[in-house]
Amino acid sequence: MRYYAERTLQAFVTIFIVVTVTFVMIRLIPGGPMDFMRAQLMQQAQGQGGGTTDMARINELVEAYTNVQPDKPMWRQYIDYLNALLHLDLGTSVWYDREVASILASAIPWTVFVLSISLLINFTLGIGLGALMAYFEGSRFDVGSTLFAIVSTSVPYYVVAILLVYVFGYRLGWFPTGGRIPSDVEVGLTVEFVTGALYHAALPVLSLVTGFAGLAISMRANSISVLGEDYIRVARLRGIRTRNIALKHVVRNAILPIWTQLLISIGFLFGGSIILEQIFKYHGVGYFMYQAIQSRDYPLMMGGFLVITVAVVISVYVADLSYGKIDPRVTVGDEE
């Protein structure tokens, strides 16, 4: 029980840290968002030929966009900021001139959709291949797979993405080069919608899936070291069937260290969506964050950062809870 309580507390602590970090970044960095937006708006006003620019009006606009009232004391601003976030008020996007929360709310399911498929495929393939490599250790299959793994871990996912979109999108035209669903399909639980969504998600998923080789290498190493353990020998002496030893003793123990990698790859994937979704023009959270970076749209940028982080914290939390299921030791409060 204590384990679950600690994990829950951990999740809240993380979110609190992130919110504070964003607050500090918006407020305290010189030349940060506030100054930048003021300059941006002043330029806009002068560009429209209004002659004298009304500083009070500009300050008002900056406040409206960012939810920040600079003349209040710092602690008061911080409380207001937390309060606004609790009410899901992330400010207004300068570029799209829409509420940040509504832009991102419509985008996040798509990002989660692509990432969860990739994660699932990655771990199934990685664990499967790694276990096979360990089983046939030293064979030609093992050496060949190791070579493949070395090559594929050397290629960054965005390079894979560019190559995929170049070959299958632009040259061959087999897959769409952008968008989330075909333009003539309505959102709803229809066959067209589901297949259309999968069709558009195929290339982004494929570019992330190449990461499974790295997992296979760790799984192989873990399995080999588990194979040398005494309890495997005991299991064999007890006459337990090979298949049961492989599944219940080897794989189950070899997976444990991989769980940490799962946690890290969740954050990595969500962060990477900024680069990935831009390449595929896939309108998820990462795509809007990219647009915000390009146009220096700070409210959207900060909102994107917060939404991505909260998504990662929740996923890591779920993964942590399930770790308690596969490794019961952690839930009994074994400190070591």
Partner 1 sequence: MSNPERQGTTADDSPFEVRSDIEITETERWMQWADRTLLAPLRIAADDWRTVLGSAIIGSYILMGTLGVLLVEPTEQNDGEDLVGPFQTAEFPLGTNGVGEDIFAKIVHATPEVLLMSLTGATVAVLLAIVVGVTAGYVGGTTDRVLSTLIDSQIAIPGLPLVILLAIFLEPSNPFVIGIILSIDGWPGLARSLRSEVLSVKKTNYVEAARIMGDTRPRIMLTDVLPNLLPFIGINFMNTARNIIFAAVGLYFIGALPYSLQNWGIMLNKAYNSTALFVPEAFHWLFFPMLAIILYSAGLVLIAQGTDRLFNPRIRARHAETVEESPDETA
Binding site for partner 1 (CB under 8 A): 10-11, 13-14, 17-18, 21-22, 25, 29, 31-32, 146, 150-151, 153-156, 158-159, 162-163, 165-166, 170-171, 217, 221, 260, 263-264, 267-268, 270-272, 274-275, 278, 289-290, 293-294, 296, 301-302, 304-305, 308-309, 312-313, 316, 335-336
- Cβ proximity to partner 1, 17 vs 332, nearer residue: 17
- Cβ proximity to partner 1, 196 vs 304, nearer residue: 304
Least distance between partner 1 and beta carbon 27 (Å): 11
- Cβ proximity to partner 1, 199 vs 259, nearer residue: 259
Least distance between partner 1 and beta carbon 11 (Å): 8
Least distance between partner 1 and beta carbon 240 (Å): 27
Least distance between partner 1 and beta carbon 100 (Å): 15
Say if CB 323 and CB 36 are below 8 A apart.
Answer: no
- Cβ proximity to partner 1, 18 vs 206, nearer residue: 18
- Cβ proximity to partner 1, 114 vs 301, nearer residue: 301
Q: Is the dihedral of CA 166, 171, 175, 180 positive or negative?
A: positive
Least distance between partner 1 and beta carbon 218 (Å): 11
Least distance between partner 1 and beta carbon 295 (Å): 11
Residue 104 is encoded by which pair of tokens? 């991102």
Look at the block and give the residue holding tokens 């692509």. 114
- Cβ proximity to partner 1, 48 vs 154, nearer residue: 154
